[in-house]
Amino acid sequence: MLTLYYTPGSCALASHIALEEAGAAYNAVRVNFADNEQRGAAYLAVNPKGRVPALATDRGILTETPAILAFIAQSWPQAALAPLDDPFAFARVQAFNAYLCATVHVAHAHKARGYRWADDPAAIAEMRRKVPETVGACFELIETEMFLGPWAMGETFSICDPYLFTLAGWLEGDGVDIARFPKVADHRRRMAQRPAVRRALAQEQVHGA
């Protein structure tokens, strides 16, 4: 059986939702960031990067959200979470998720993780100050150019949707008014109503209590 390592409020929620959407059998194991458990020897043996998510499979450990989401889509093709029979369409899904991972999440990380890029307190403070602008610009691009509607990639729900939902959930904390992005706001509302999303959120709330 699969094991998903997560912490509440993290990007691991996207993989958690995708597992629920796929109908996969899995265990969910919380990594307690408040106790710095991600830096402990036990978790570093699972994921030496010291981050979540990590997905333990019968062939080894997978890390990085886009890779885990693609694995879920390919492992449960009957769930139709990606256009697996169309290389170009699947590449577009991968491009969307790569943008969320490499650009949007990194912009968000400058709020609380500035120490990854600088030691100077003034530089870290400047990175934090700029987060509403940089994250807002990311979502402006998503709203106007990338989001096809009614789902991220068009008419069909895909592995892009749990990931977008997860990162859009951080907007208010990043000082960005989601009302600026009506398509993203509507998407977040509809995603929150999906049974798989509710199940994943309920598990994380229970396990995180």
- Tokens 């499979």 belong to residue: 57
Query: Which class is 87-194 in CATH?
Result: mainly alpha
Q: Where in the chain is the domain with CATH 3.40.30.10?
A: 2-80+196-208
Residue 119 reports pLDDT greater than 60? yes
pTM score: 0.95
Domain limits, CATH 1.20.1050.10, in the chain: 87-194
Return left, alpha or beta for 154; rule: phi > 0 is left, psi -120 to 50 is alpha, else beta: left
- Cβ distance 12 to 5 under 8 Å? yes
Which pLDDT value is given to residue 36? 87
Domain 2-80+196-208 has CATH 3.40.50.1970: no
CA 74 to chain centre: 18
Q: Residues 191, 147: contact at Cβ < 8 Å?
A: no
Using CA atoms, how far apart are residues 166 and 68, in angstroms rounded to an integer? 15
Report pLDDT digits (tens) over 38-92: 999 999 999 999 999 999 999 999 999 999 999 999 999 999 999 999 999 999 9
Q: 163-202 pLDDT, tens per residue?
A: 999 999 999 999 999 999 999 999 999 999 999 999 999 9
What is the tens place of the pLDDT at every residue in 3-30?
A: 999 999 999 999 999 999 999 999 999 9
